[in-house]
Structure 1
Amino acid sequence: MITPEITAFVLNQGTRVLVSTDKGKSWKESLVSDHLPFLRMLKLGFTSDKDGYLIITGDKTMSWEAHFVFKTNDGGQSWYNAGSVDDTQALVTDGRFITDQLGFISFGEYRLEGQPPVPNLFRTTDGGTNWERVEVPIPEEYRGYFTVAEIPTFHGTEGTLLVNQGQQGDYLGGKVLAKFTSQDQGKTWSFSGLVDPDGVLR
């Protein structure tokens, strides 16, 4: 990740993070963990000059994998295991922290027998210690089409969430997204329409 304040890289070699606060003139290297399985995905970010996160997935077998959330509060000099989403081993599709305490992880689709798949999105408000599933109210006419939540963006407490159609989606060409808005930092969401990047709805 590159911002005006921080440049950081994560190395999949003993899982180390390199951080520079002077635009790459000097670097500090820190070990996150040397006891992790073979890694598939690494999501690194900072929410302030001191607070950062690293979401790691690995040990993938078919549609199962382990995931870990590591945090730093000293600019990347040291990292600690903040936890993970309990009882969930689905494949992570995306993850990000909005602030040091507020974060989201998307696990793609959630399926129940006899029902169309729905987004499998989780939210934490305590830095990653506890997570709860977010209900994304897909309208009845779109259920089964919009199934994978992307990570929301925020302006203050107001949030915007886009839900895509997954890798196999072909509704209106597969690129149309469902848009949701929130007024409570992503605890609840309301459907606000479709996003049409390719103009197929014209």
Structure 2
Amino acid sequence: MTLVYGFMCFSAIASIAMHFRERAAQALERFRSSNSLRKLLLSSLTAPLIVGCGFGGGGFDGVDAQRAKPFQRYDLVQAIASNGVTVVAASQAGSVIVSDDQGRAWRRHAIGGGMVDLATCPDGRFVGIDFQGRGWVGDSKGQQWDSIALSEPVPAISAACDTRGRWWVTGAHAQVAMSPDFGATWTLIDLSRDADDAQLTSIQMVDESHGFIVGEFGFVFGTTDGGENWTHIGTIDGDFYPYAVAFVSREEGFASGLAGQVVRTTDGGVSWAPVPNVTGVSFYRLVRAGNEVFGVGGGGVVARLSESGVTPVAYPDAMPVPLTSVASLGPDRQALVVGGPGGFSRVVSTEEAGS
């Protein structure tokens, strides 16, 4: 029964993956038809929503054991963040799953919201967003969470926290919101003059002064004054539709997009060059880990991104599920935590052989 159930799950995953590949190809053909493409983006950013695909055994004997597990079969792990001590994984089912030992053991907390992105702040607190117009603030242990209404952008797509503890949110209609006080007050920044009503899909604050935003139609915005002003600094060519961005410095960064596209900049986002992607998969999330960038995406692939190309990272008990979340465990550990559908989570070593 377990083998049959597993085969059915993986067949469903494969079918959905093929469906998204076909939709990506169609989207590239009609790239400027923004309404259809935005639907694809919102599907893909939370994608794929595979619920109830478990990997345990069948029968009633396993029901109680399954319920006692912190990760459930119906969980899609949409976002993960680590403050160096505590790791928080967010499920679409309205819960967070928390570890205080680098991902070896986990505990589950119901909070009533399915966050789609998470970030950590300098004081260790967590900030997140969901698709229901809410922001979330969690304490440094990931135990206490408060929700905050977001007026804009709705839907929110990406969240970040800068070195000054300011909370940044990007999303629909080329809108950016910033809160200096964990959601008590907000400043709205409108980038529609340069980006029309584009979806802004990813934001990263690299240091106290520099930050980057990427969005629909390959728009790239940058700031050199800590977010006081944002400038349209470039456009990623090649019908690029971005999922994520990750910079290792104010000059060098990577972006991932539809149909397995990966690009790199060495001039602070002004120009971008394609990076060979031998895996062929799309990377839904990118993360900076020290001076390196890693991506997670389709087929359970974890990969190291570099100037020379995309290099898969092997890890134990891998499964061909679409990985939808990743976090670095911190500068002192060469390891990532990754997550996906069916409550899938793994700790992945990034240490290179012979190092």
Which TM-score band applies after superposition, normalised by the shorter structure?
Answer: 0.5 to 0.7
Gaps of 5+ in 1: 58-65, 110-118, 139-145, 166-176
- 1:124-163 alignment, distance < 5 Å: 124-138=265-279, 147-163=281-297
What is the count of residue pairs matched by the alignment?
159
Please say which structure displays the higher CA radius of gyration: 2
Map of 2:236 onto structure 1: 85
Q: Whose strand fraction is larger, Structure 1's or Structure 2's?
A: 1
* Displacement after TM superposition at 1:49 (Å): 2.8
- State the one-letter code of the partner of 1:129: V
- 1:41-190 alignment, distance < 5 Å: 41-57=200-216, 66-86=217-237, 88-109=238-259, 119-138=260-279, 147-165=281-299, 177-181=300-304, 186-188=306-308, 189-190=310-311
Q: Secondary structure at the residue paired with 2:227?
A: coil
1:187 and 1:158, CA in 2 relative to 1: closer, same or farther beyond 3 A? same
Q: Secondary structure at the residue paired with 1:100?
A: coil
Map of 2:111 onto structure 1: none
Matched-pair contact (CA < 8 Å) for 1:105–1:151: no
* Displacement after TM superposition at 1:26 (Å): 4.5
1:12 and 1:98, CA in 2 relative to 1: closer, same or farther beyond 3 A? same
Matched-pair contact (CA < 8 Å) for 1:32–1:78: no
- 1:1-16 alignment, distance < 5 Å: 1-3=159-161, 5-10=165-170, 12=172, 15-16=174-175
2 CA distance for matches of 1:37 and 1:25? 28
1 CA distance for matches of 2:197 and 2:244? 18
Q: Secondary structure at the residue paired with 1:193?
A: coil
After superposition, what is the alpha-carbon deviation per residue over 1:158-192, rounded to whole angstroms, capped at 9, x for unaligned?
Answer: 44333414xxxxxxxxxxx123335xxx2134333
Q: TM-score, normalised by structure 1?
A: 0.63
1:190 and 1:10, CA in 2 relative to 1: closer, same or farther beyond 3 A? closer
Matched-pair contact (CA < 8 Å) for 2:171–2:199: no
CA RMSD of superposed structures (Å): 2.9
1:122 and 1:193, CA in 2 relative to 1: closer, same or farther beyond 3 A? same
* Displacement after TM superposition at 1:128 (Å): 0.8
Q: Whose helix fraction is larger, Structure 1's or Structure 2's?
A: 2
Q: 1:36 aligns with which of 175, 184, 195?
A: 195
1:27 and 1:108, CA in 2 relative to 1: closer, same or farther beyond 3 A? closer
Gaps of 5+ in 2: 1-158, 320-338, 346-355
1 CA distance for matches of 2:272 and 2:167? 28
After superposition, what is the alpha-carbon deviation per residue over 1:139-166, rounded to whole angstroms, capped at 9, x for unaligned?
Answer: xxxxxxx52124443333344333414x
* Displacement after TM superposition at 1:104 (Å): 1.9
1 CA distance for matches of 2:175 and 2:283? 29
Map of 1:192 onto structure 2: 313
